[in-house]
């Protein structure tokens, strides 16, 4: 199928790329992009070029592009790296919602114990080997966060790669 062309600016087109490559119709693409842009609160950047957006806005647009196809697994490498605390919390809450309500598996690599505290299961790596594994279970996020910090102390104060 031919690539669908839009008269929109790059924000919209950036998010629409996977759907365009999958041969979706213009109507399907517009609806899917509008839905995910609203969910991640980036509607205001759909008509902007990347150079007109903040780093956080660009990162949220990239997340929209990854989610617009409704994947069953998401691989996220430091997904909150360019986001402020409010947007980080919203993104991590969205990931949690996708996992719990939509059955999406999320593999996240982070050095941030706060981000890791949103997970259900954490694998700690040290020197390329599995160092420890913990599960959230019935613990509150605050209790789980403190458990993560305890493991980090055992790692010598370095978070290493948390998955």
The reported pLDDT for the residue numbered 57 is: 82
HEC-encoded secondary structure of 50-90:
HHHCCHHHHHHHHHHHHHCCCCCEEEEECCCCCCCHHHHHH
3-class DSSP state for residue 162? strand
Look at the alpha carbons of 48, 49, 51, 56 in this order and tell me if their dihedral is positive or negative: positive
The reported pLDDT for the residue numbered 1 is: 44
3-class DSSP state for residue 1? coil
The pTM assigned to this predicted structure is 0.73
pLDDT in tens for each of the 163 residues of the chain? Answer: 444 444 445 789 999 999 999 999 999 999 999 999 998 888 999 989 888 888 778 878 888 999 999 999 999 999 888 788 888 888 899 899 889 988 999 999 998 999 999 999 999 998 899 999 999 999 999 999 999 999 999 887 555 455 5
């Amino acid at each position: 199928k031919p690539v669908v062309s839009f008269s929109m600016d790059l924000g919209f087109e950036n998010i629409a790329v996977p759907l365009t490559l999958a041969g979706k119709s213009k109507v399907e693409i517009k609806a899917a992009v509008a839905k995910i842009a609203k969910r991640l609160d980036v509607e205001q950047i759909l008509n902007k070029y990347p150079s007109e957006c903040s780093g956080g806005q660009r990162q949220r647009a990239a997340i929209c592009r990854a989610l617009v196809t409704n994947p069953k697994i998401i691989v996220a490498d430091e997904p909150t790296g360019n986001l402020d605390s409010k947007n980080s919390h919203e993104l991590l809450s969205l990931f949690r919602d996708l996992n719990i309500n939509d059955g999406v598996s999320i593999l996240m690599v982070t050095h941030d114990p706060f981000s890791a505290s949103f997970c259900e299961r954490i694998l700690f790596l040290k020197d390329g080997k599995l160092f420890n594994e913990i599960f959230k279970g019935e613990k509150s996020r605050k209790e789980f966060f403190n458990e993560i910090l305890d493991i980090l102390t055992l790692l010598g104060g370095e978070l290493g790669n948390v998955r």
